[in-house]
Chains A and B, each alone.
Chain A
Amino acid sequence: MPSVYETITEILTTKFAVPAQAIAEDTALEDVLTDSLDVVEFGVVVGEHYNVLISDEELETVTTIADVAALMGSKVAA
């Protein structure tokens, strides 16, 4: 079973056409996504994958891909 980080990476590459080489744990979402709409869209897609909802407040707390992985890890475990 892939890790949360691996799943997020796959969503970024397959659904958002982000080159794999541009993705690292400390990569900021806003640096690889098209605009702020896409950052929110990314949250919707990741949430849908794990069948959880990410609130605007939660999304505001994340900057990097590692942050997203940590947030999703805690929400999926909860």
Chain B
Amino acid sequence: MTARSGIVITGRGMVTPAGSGVDENWKRVSAGEPTAVLGPDLGVLGTQVVCPVTDFDASLHLGPGARRLDRYSQLCAVAADEAVADAGLRTGEWDGARVAIVLGVSVGGVETLTAQHVALLERGPAAISPLTMPMSLVNMVAGQLAIRLSATGPNLTVSTACASGATAIGTAMQLLRANACDIAIAGASDASLVPLVLSAFARMGALTKRSADPARASRPFDRDRDGFVAAEGAAIVVLEREDDARARGASVRGRILGYGATSDAHHVTSPHPEGTGARAAMTAALADAGLSAADVGHLNAHGTSTRLNDQAEAKAVRAVLGDQVPVASTKGVTGHLLAAAGAAETVYASLSIEHGLVPPTANLDTVDPEIGLNLAAVPRRQSIQVAMSTSFGFGGQNAALLIGAP
């Protein structure tokens, strides 16, 4: 193995349906315990299953300022606080000009936006909150976090739909390689479990209709999968160049070894049936890291539980990594975290390496015979040096990350 990257993960933080904090998340993900429950009833659309973040009191974590943040920014701020603390960093003690923030976002503060639209319709324009734009614009999560962390370096939001989290981490890695910053706080957040967004996904035929059995609804790669379960959450990593991290005595949690990004240029929502864009992203990540397919010991797949994604992804994986690499989709537990999926799954991949365990793919009762991958419904003990995480977004945007052992 001749990995060239010197970019290390020194901090991790997350708030997802699987729990608040990295430890709680790993406990539930490694045990394969689904989090899906009944959510908003979409009536005739026939779907009602979501994976929400429960027991989350934003003001408890963030104080009175929480009311000026949309839920997607609240989740992100809490995850970022955990990641920064895990990295042993203190905002008052760093050179903020060398701290970058790169966050993946899809629809932004849609909870705020939809609530304000109701106010507009019911009470008129003078009832609209002046905080509507600061709370809902897609860049605000990064702007708000910069204020919170006194981070005055590059401040970006990237949006590649469900690949956004992976794109953010890949972009942050590139900023560090280019010496545009010394510390990058990267990840993603999504909180869009509102009837408007859920109905829109349902009208596309993307969501499961397994409302009678919510816990069994997210079943990636299973023969009887019928759509994804929308989830909310945030995941953040702190990235640094290895020399800097070692010099300050930081604990290294893992490495970002390589990143590949491509576009299908095929269809707005359907993946290319042969998975060509996905394949190219995976191949590009390997090339970026200077690794070969044989070096990859585990794949945390995008595996959304839709018929089209899982089938196209499986083709791409077989073509690039073969059919023996142990694959898991943690979405069986978390549901589809949308913009945050790639960030959360990067953290899960680093935890898989750390614990020497391939997590189970929950609800995998019968592997779809067309998938042809090395999947399991139970956790598997295995030493892993390099893991891949794949993420694919509507719009045909694909991203693959390679995560390495410390």
Which A residue sits closest to B134, measured CB to CB?
A37
B130 CB-CB contact with A under 8 Å: yes
Measured in the bound complex, the distance between the Cα atoms of B126 and A56 in whole Å is 8
**Which A16-72 residues have C-beta < 8 A from chain B?**
16-17, 34, 37-38, 40-41, 44, 47-48, 53-56
Which B residue sits closest to A34, measured CB to CB?
B68
Asked if A53 contacts B64 (CB within 8 A), the reply is no
Residue in B64, B128, B134 whose CB lies within 8 Å of A16: B64
Chain B residues within an 8 Å CB radius of A44: 127-130
Chain B residues within an 8 Å CB radius of A56: 126
Contacts A37-B130, A37-B131, A37-B134 given; indicate if A53 touches B68 (C-beta within 8 A). Answer: no
Chain B residues within an 8 Å CB radius of A16: 64, 67
Measured in the bound complex, the distance between the Cα atoms of B116 and A44 in whole Å is 12
Asked if B124 contacts A53 (CB within 8 A), the reply is yes
0 or 1 for each of B84-103: is its CB under 8 Å from A? (1 = yes):
00000000000000000000
0 or 1 for each of B197-230: is its CB under 8 Å from A? (1 = yes):
0000000000000000000000000000000000
Asked if A41 contacts B64 (CB within 8 A), the reply is no
Chain A residues within an 8 Å CB radius of B129: 41, 44
Residue in B63, B67, B128 whose CB lies within 8 Å of A15: B67
Measured in the bound complex, the distance between the Cα atoms of B129 and A15 in whole Å is 14
B267 CB-CB contact with A under 8 Å: no
Taking A17-B64, A44-B127 as given, write out 18 further A-B residue pairs in contact, using a Cβ cutoff of 8 Å, ordered by the A residue number: A15-B67, A16-B67, A17-B63, A34-B68, A37-B130, A38-B131, A41-B129, A41-B130, A41-B131, A44-B128, A44-B129, A47-B126, A48-B123, A48-B127, A53-B124, A53-B127, A54-B126, A56-B126
Top 7 closest A-B pairs, CB basis? Answer: A17-B64, A40-B130, A53-B126, A37-B130, A44-B129, A41-B131, A41-B130
